[in-house]
Structure 1
């Protein structure tokens, strides 16, 4: 099956708009991981992403009549910019449907790429809404649809990346790591590699909360996710493509999943080696490569990771820097309970020895016990469990929060926020779309019998916000509250029994 795509990739029309991106050695990563690490720098493309390859190849294969009628696409990100650039190059008109939630900076970027050739239509609150509207406009105006991943010409365009890798590095190559959203990139890359050098492993990387392809391959059928994590927005796809799934069944050796902290650490790693800043999806392959090396304990191998995009909002860097320390195992976070008595605080500090304290939060709350939120600099991932054991052995009750989302995103900023008035409080984490009216929609959906008793929100410069809410709900309203959550449509997590919440806020 991969050979079916070999001719398509070899004859793909991408270089009118794309460059042959550099295959660059990453010296710091190479030294740290004891393997040769090469980065395929697709972040250096004219639109700072690989997406223009597939989009342009699809458009360049359209007939003159099809180009004259124009093209249409649905996208809120890199694919939209690729289609816009292709439309300007080919002199055809393009309609790009984007959700109403799309930040203005992305809308402006698409218009700038396409100029007068591109019309941006804002419709719906999600990509799915925009996609359905684009299909309706396609039929109405007899336009040609340029799919972001599930199209043979788009897949072939992305496959030219693999063609370049094998031309640029003709020596031993053990594995190529590829980010997966809908599957267009890995389908094209895998098809070429397995046709030419099948001994090279093709390893996909997804986030733990957007792993539709991994689940689909395991189930041997396409699995649609109910919700997807939004940090790596470029790979936040609920349902992979039919054609990409068909190909991936034959060309993907395995899929590794990583969390937000690992991605942030990978962004930092690439910055150290290149002084370039990748977007989360762009760093996904590097995070997966590191996880693979750690799992397999391999040395002296040669690996390629595709750095597939760099369309990063500057405001997100605060969050990335904050979480990279944990992702790189340079910080561990704990909730520690000590006796509220003279000398106990000093004894706890002596336990830290020469370790560097990165954060320390405390507020008096109880006559008998003190609860401390503390961050400690570490050298390796196993340090956190060892530190926790040493605290417990010394008589201090300890909870290791190093990998706990509630604590890292919210609780560390809220220590000391207790209230005797917060009875019947339910604690929930939500992800809200970052747009005007999102909070009002939340508030107006609530029953007037419920009271917000806690609210914490931080803007990370992303397309969504992380929010922690305490809601006081009478016992006889619990059924109505469950209905409220189901109808709201925002991803949410019940944190009411979270041990750190019980220590610091309940």
Structure 2
């Protein structure tokens, strides 16, 4: 522990990085009766904390290592941190990125003068190619998180926080991917202010550190989520795990809708737009307040990065209301007769606002409506469902139904009497030319495509809904081909939203 503290205090990060501000969030503080502060790592030259660790590692290389140049595998902020650092030090840099990497990220790395090598459809494939290139070129590998000097560079964030806020401090909330940032912060804070809680925040679908700490050993996740791509790591580092096991107090898991609410909260406080991973800190902080009921505490959230694709904002805005518990989505069955809709709106919706309404005639006796209702908190969501049931309306709460929120709401009325033996799948397609062709080749001659829905959301992967029909009984062969294709997928054939609306 003393070694890493010394490395933090003697790090060279400020040759490239800047000391970022610790800004108050007055509106949030007043709303939640706590003092909430935001550590603005989005103010770095590359808009992310990753510059700290990357530069500290590279600046401490020997002259011989520097002369050979550096190499990294990354599709995001680490790539920009390494490229910026290499330019600052006047050395060569090579970044291996998946071919699925959006052009905006590729161009950002090239602007810093690094050579970009595109390889594979995932980070793991890019990392394998980087390993091969190390042997071929002799370049020095810069790990994104599991390296002492990288961890020490990220730990300078904690040094700044304690200097900028020398008074009361109850907890610091830190986004967790591979664990480099929280490992450095936790080690430093626990040495100087052991009473301060250090709490990590992970997406529910990328919770490698939480799973590892619960298991008491390193755990490799079978898959990771695609929304908060900055922390989409299947296995955390061994060094970062050991430090977190010793010094981290807790890990909070949050879902996609809650992260969208966190992005909105930061925007309202700072007028800056952070990326999903960058909003994890504030998202976990707000969830901690709601769950614990704490008041009068001083809480810090790390805004870890702001490399947000502009196209993704539409998706974020659509999901924010649910994430803030201000909207609930329901499938409601009402009589298909004159006056029934007016009765539903007058007697049950009442003073609540309808945020969304989708309907298409499909049955002469009953109507299935997809409706969004404004609510004040999660308790009102349950209350509204109970009111519907008491009034004799069959209803299904779709607020947590991913199929309904991502696809169904745009497709209501798409039922077809012609479809036979249909199975429904949600896919994560790489946002790269040829992704659909590869899918079609894999399923060619096996099943007819009976349904297709895609909407660009500005990420590395696109969310696609596909219906496949066949009367040939080739289900086992279909699943084998889908598994070989390698795209993440989920079957939704038994989802109630599918049977009601599609």
Q: Shared topology, TM-score over 0.5? A: yes
The CA deviation at 1:343 is: 2.3
**Partner of residue 439 from structure 1, selected from 436, 442, 446:** 436
Aligned match for 2:118, one of 114, 117, 122: 122
- What residue is the counterpart of 1:224 in the other structure? 220
Question: What SS class does the counterpart of residue 476 from structure 1 fall into?
Answer: coil
Match of residue 335 from structure 1: 331
Q: Matches of residues 87-98 of structure 1 in structure 2 within 5 Å?
A: 87-98=86-97
| Secondary structure in structure 2 of the residue aligned to 1:234 | helix
Match of 1:263 in 2: 259
Residue 355 of structure 2 corresponds to residue 353 of structure 1: no
3-state SS in 2 of match to 1:285: helix
**1:3 and 1:192 in contact (8 A); partners too:** no
1:473 CA drift (Å): 3.2
Contact 1:332 1:402 in 2 (8 A): yes
Which residues in structure 2 correspond to 1:173-192 (within 5 Å)?
173-192=169-188
Match of 1:244 in 2: 240
Q: 1:413-424 maps to which residues of 2 (within 5 A)?
A: 413-424=410-421
Give SS of 2:172's match: strand
Does residue 472 in structure 1 map to residue 469 in structure 2?
yes
Counterparts of 1:358-397 in structure 2, within 5 Å, are 358-397=355-394
Q: Write the distance in 2 (CA, Å) between the matches of 1:25 and 1:3.
A: 31
Say whether 1:26 aligns with 2:25. yes
- Note the alpha carbon deviations across 1:77-128, whole angstroms, 9 max, x for none: 1111111111111111111111111111111111112x2xx21111111111
Give a deviation string over 1:311-347, Cα, whole Å, max 9, x none. Answer: 0011111111111011011111100001112222221
Contact 2:442/2:482, CA 8 A, preserved across alignment: no
How do residues 77-156 of structure 1 correspond to structure 2 at under 5 angstroms? 77-113=76-112, 115=113, 118-156=114-152
Trace 1:34-113 onto structure 2 (pairs within 5 A): 34-113=33-112
Aligned residues: 501
* Paired residues of 2:368 and 2:500 also in contact (CA < 8 A): yes
Contact 2:420 2:470 in 1 (8 A): no
The 1:448–1:143 alpha-carbon spacing in structure 2 relative to 1, beyond 3 Å, is: same
Structure 2: distance between partners of 1:205 and 1:475:
47
- Offset at residue 447 of structure 1 (A): 4.0
Distance 1:449 1:278 in 2: 43
The alpha carbon displacement at 1:486 in A equals 1.7
Deviation track 1:129-172 (CA, whole Å, cap 9, x = no partner) reads 11111111112221111110010000000000000000100111
Contact 2:99 2:118 in 1 (8 A): yes
CA contact (8 A) 1:457 1:468 kept: yes
TM-superposed CA distance for 1:60, in Å, is 0.7
Conservation of the 8 A alpha-carbon contact between 2:73 and 2:123: yes
For residues 444-501 of structure 1, what are the alpha-carbon distances to aligned partners after superposition, in whole Å with 9 as ceiling and x for unaligned? 1004131111111110111111111111133621111221222121111111111111
Distance (Å, rounded) in 1 between the aligned partners of 2:3 and 2:446: 62
**1:157 matches 2:156:** no
- Whole-angstrom distance in 2 between the partners of 1:127 and 1:208: 20
Is residue 308 from structure 1 mapped to residue 304 from structure 2 by the alignment? yes
Match of 2:497 among 500, 503, 506: 500
Equivalence for 2:271: 275
**Alignment-derived partner of residue 292 in structure 1:** 288
Which residue pairs with 1:11 in the alignment?
A: 10
Provide the aligned C-alpha RMSD in A.
1.0
Kindly indicate whether the alpha-carbon contact (under 8 Å) linking 2:443 and 2:482 is maintained by their aligned counterparts in 1.
no
| CA distance in 2: counterparts of 1:66 and 1:493, whole angstroms | 46
Q: Which of 448, 456, 461 is matched with 2:458 structurally?
A: 461
Q: Aligned with 2:15: secondary structure?
A: coil
State the SS of the aligned residue for 1:312. coil
For residues 206 and 43 of structure 1, the distance between their equivalents in structure 2, rounded to whole angstroms, comes to 19
1:226, distance to aligned residue in structure 2 (A) = 1.1
The separation in 2 between residues aligned to 1:83 and 1:249, in whole angstroms, is 28
Q: Distance in 2 between matches of 1:394 and 1:68?
A: 76
After superposition, what is the alpha-carbon deviation per residue over 1:158-201, rounded to whole angstroms, capped at 9, x for unaligned? 00000000010011111100000011110111110111111111
Asked if 2 retains the 8 angstrom alpha-carbon contact of 1:123 and 1:130, the reply is yes
Deviations 1:196-255 (A, max 9, x none): 111111100000000111111111111111111010000000011111111111111111
CA distance in 1, matches of 2:425, 2:247: 41
Partner secondary structure for residue 474 of structure 2: helix
Contact 1:3 1:191 in 2 (8 A): no
Query: CA separation in 1, counterparts of 2:119 and 2:338?
Result: 62
TM-score by length of 1: 0.98
Match of 1:197 in 2: 193
Partners of 1:79 and 1:429 in 2: how far apart?
30
Q: Take 1:491 and 1:383, find their aligned partners in 2: how far apart are those partners?
A: 35
Q: 1:250 is paired with a residue of what secondary structure?
A: helix
Q: TM-score, normalised by structure 2?
A: 0.98
User: Does structure 2 conserve the Cα–Cα contact (< 8 Å) formed by 1:362 and 1:372?
Assistant: yes
* Aligned pair partner of 2:395 in 395, 398, 407: 398
